[in-house]
Chains A and B, each alone.
Chain A
Amino acid sequence: MPKVGVVAVGQSAFVRSYPGSIRELAFEAFRDALSGSGINANKIEASLICSAPEYDKQRTPAGLIAEYLGLNPQPTFYVESVCSSSSSGLRTAYALIASGLHDVVMVLGFQKMSEISSAESQERMGRGADIQWEAPFGTMMPAYYAMHARGHFTKYGTTEEDLALIRLKSSTYGVINEKAVFRKSLTLDKIMEPKYIATPLKMMDCCANADGSSCIILASEDRAKDLCEKPVWVKGVGMATAPINMAGRDTFSGLKCANLAAKRAYDMAGVGPKDIDVAEVHDCFTIAEMMAYEDLGFAEPGQGKELIRNKETYKEGRIPVNVDGGLLSKGHPIGATGGSQIRTIVLQLRGEAGEIQVPNAKTGLVHNIGGVGIYGNVTIFGVD
Chain B
Amino acid sequence: MGFEQFGVVSFTATTKAEKFVDFLREGKVCGTICKACGAKFFPPRSDCNVCLSDDMEWFEILGDGNLLTYTEAMYAPAGFEKDVPYLLGVAEFKDGKVFGRLDKSMLEDGITPGMKIKLKVVNLEEGRVSYELTAA
Contacts and interface: CB of A to CB of B under 8 A. Distances in A.
Contacts of A148: 69
Contact of A140 (B75, B89, B97, B98): B75
Contacts of A133: 43, 99
Contacts of A127: 11
A199 B113 CA distance: 14
B101 A137 contact: yes
B123 interface: no
B79 interface: yes
Contacts of B113: 150-151, 154
Contacts of A197: 73-75
Interface string A20-35: 0000000000000000
Contacts of A131: 11-12
A119 interface: yes
B7 to A, nearest CB: 2
A122 B68 contact: no
A136 B11 contact: yes
Contacts of B81: 119
Contacts of B73: 138, 140, 142-143, 146, 197-198
Given A134-B99, A140-B73, A119 B78 contact: yes
**Interface size bracket, A side:** 35 or more
A156 interface: no
Given A197-B74, A245-B99, A132 B12 contact: yes
Given A246-B90, A246-B99, A247-B97, A151 B69 contact: yes
A196 interface: yes
A138 B11 contact: no
A317 B92 CA distance: 40
B110 interface: no
Contact of A137 (B8, B97, B114): B8
B86 A138 contact: yes
A290 to B, nearest CB: 15
Interface in A149-206: 149-151, 154, 196-201
A126 B3 CA distance: 19
A150 B71 contact: yes
A67 interface: no
B9 interface: yes
With most chain A CB atoms within 10 A of its CB, the pick from B68, B69, B96 is: B69
Contacts of A147: 69-71, 88-90
Interface in A97-116: none
Interface in B58-76: 68-76
Interface in B76-108: 76-81, 83, 86, 88-90, 96-101
A146 B68 contact: no
Given A140-B75, A198-B74, A135 B88 contact: no
Interface string A257-285: 00000000000000000000000000000
Given A122-B77, A132-B11, 6 more contacts: A132-B3, A140-B77, A142-B75, A151-B69, A198-B75, A247-B90
Which 5 pairs from chain A and chain B are nearest by CB?
A136-B7, A138-B80, A123-B77, A146-B71, A133-B43
20 contacts: A132-B11, A132-B12, A136-B7, A137-B8, A138-B9, A138-B79, A140-B73, A142-B75, A143-B71, A147-B89, A149-B71, A150-B71, A150-B113, A151-B68, A196-B72, A197-B73, A198-B73, A198-B75, A201-B71, A247-B42
